[in-house]
Amino acid sequence: MDIRQERPFQKPRRTVQRVFLHCSASDRPEDDAIEVIRRWHLERGFSEVGYHYFIRKNGLLEPGRSLERIPAAQKGHNRNTIAICLHGLHKERFTEEQFDALRDVALGIHDAYDGEISFHGHCEVSPKACPVFDYREVLALDRFGTLGLSGVQSGKQYPSVEEEPRLSLGSRGPAVEHLQELLFVRVDGIYGPRTERALKRFCLAEGLPVGVGVEPAHWRRLLGRVALRDGAV
């Protein structure tokens, strides 16, 4: 049975612009629970556990601090953020179940904010080596911290560039669904403003033509990145 929650994120009322990723600095099984982290933080004088989510080794996503509250996680950079912590200390001991759960919640957050949100490691604002795993690869982040292609399931058979049609604003159907999956936006099969914005962000990050819809060059880059990530090339 899959113990991960399906798109568990519920958008808070406060402004959120960035998501920060952390690791717990412990691989001990007895520390693998949000209640342990809560106890640690209370002992340090926190009013509550500092993270909004905690991901256990088995992939279970546990809620922590209310999303309506600012986290206590990355000093000097807490406002307008969400903090997610994965249990672990050594990078080789993080599990695929944890990374799958991280991708799931990241996708939920990304969708809730129409992609207008970025993902970062604690190490980007602190001298700490946290998180110790390659979060950029796990979430396929671009240089701006925008969520990439990691939500597309590994092992899926993708059409070739030649099989994918040109698309533009107003297009509908399975090809649009595939495009939305690759762009990490809500899949509804309708090429509307949300999909257009996501495509523009992708094009700007990849140096592709903007404002021409989806052409073979766009499909080639999208499908090529998935193939590289999944080890197909």
Q: Which residues are catalytic?
A: 22, 51, 122, 128, 130
Residue ranges of E strands in the chain: 18-23, 53-55, 61-63, 81-86, 118-121
Strands (DSSP E) found in 24-179:
53-55, 61-63, 81-86, 118-121
98 closest CA partner among 54, 55, 138: 55
- Give, in order, the Cα–Cα distances in Å from 184 to each of 75, 146, 165: 30, 10, 19
Say if CB 15 and CB 112 are below 8 A apart.
no
Please state, in angstroms and rounded to a whole number, the distance separating the CA atoms of residues 119 and 139.
9
- Contact call for residues 118 and 18 (beta carbons, < 8 A): yes
The token pair at 90 is: 């050594």
Output the 3-class SS for 12-51: CCCCCCEEEEEECCCCCHHHCCHHHHHHHHHHCCCCCCCC
Strand 61-63 versus strand 53-55 pairing type: antiparallel
**Residue 217 contacts residue 209 (beta carbons within 8 Å):** yes
